């Protein structure tokens, strides 16, 4: 009886240690947090949509400029007539990392339609980290860097995703984690053409 009681105490003690170790891993490990968030996205509960009743923000505040990894500059005036999908992200941001598979799938689905422009804007201080992260994880999205953006478009919250219609109006702005590769969202993007 005494031996069984001792065994139960040891089991409870080690169970507590393992439980707290797992909690600490999820708190401090970016990959673990990203994995958990990816599992949540995969349920579809965070799928996003462009709200039809949402007021469209007219062109005010949509003047922007981004540069690509090789130095090419894209500005809002150059992209009029196209539907522009902009995602502000960073390689160190767990929600950004969690939604990247969904974003990559969306990009791969629509990248050959030249009526769409995809701008994945890295907020990494070290520009090489974004490219290294994408390469390591076999993501194909093109990396851009912020030159000029109004606070109406991006105020610093990561991730932030914006859709700009062909006339230059912001038709969707979402801060936080979401799933973008679902049929409803893809259909809504195509309806903006």
d(CA 36, CA 149): 31
d(CA 188, CA 51): 9
d(CA 145, CA 185): 25
d(CA 133, CA 90): 9
The two beta strands, 143-148 and 83-89, are unpaired
d(CA 27, CA 30): 8
The DSSP output letter for 57 is B
Q: Are 183 and 110 in contact (CB under 8 A)?
A: no
Q: What are phi and psi of 89, to 5 degrees?
A: -150, 175
- Note the pLDDT tens digit of each residue in 105-145: 999 999 999 999 999 999 999 999 999 999 999 999 999 99
The two beta strands, 73-75 and 160-164, are unpaired
User: What range defines the domain where residue 138 resides?
Assistant: 1-192
Total domains, the chain: 1
- Note the pLDDT tens digit of each residue in 146-191: 999 988 889 999 999 999 999 888 999 999 999 999 999 999 999 9
Question: Which CATH number is 150's domain given?
Answer: 3.40.30.10
| Confidence (pLDDT) at 44 | 63
- Note the pLDDT tens digit of each residue in 84-93: 999 999 999 9
Q: What DSSP element (H or E) covers 20?
A: helix 2-28
Q: Is the pTM above the cut of 0.85?
A: no
């Amino acid at each position: 009886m005494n031996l069984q009681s001792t065994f139960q105490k040891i089991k409870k003690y080690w169970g507590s240690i393992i439980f707290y170790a797992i909690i600490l891993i999820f708190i401090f490990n970016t990959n673990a947090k990203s994995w958990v968030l990816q599992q949540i996205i995969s349920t579809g509960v965070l799928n996003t949509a462009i709200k039809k009743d949402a007021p469209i923000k007219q062109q005010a505040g949509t003047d922007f400029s981004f540069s690509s990894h090789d130095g090419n500059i894209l500005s809002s005036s150059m992209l009029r007539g196209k539907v522009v999908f902009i995602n502000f992200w960073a390689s160190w941001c767990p929600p950004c990392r969690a939604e990247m598979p969904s974003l990559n799938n969306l990009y791969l689905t629509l990248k050959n339609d030249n009526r769409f422009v995809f701008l994945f804007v890295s907020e990494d201080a070290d520009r090489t980290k974004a490219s290294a992260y994408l390469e390591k994880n076999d993501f194909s999205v093109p990396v851009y860097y912020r030159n000029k953006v109004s606070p109406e478009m991006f105020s610093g919250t990561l991730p932030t995703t914006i859709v700009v219609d062909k006339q230059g109006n912001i038709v969707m702005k979402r801060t936080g984690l979401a799933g973008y590769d679902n049929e409803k969202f893809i259909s809504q993007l195509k309806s903006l053409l």
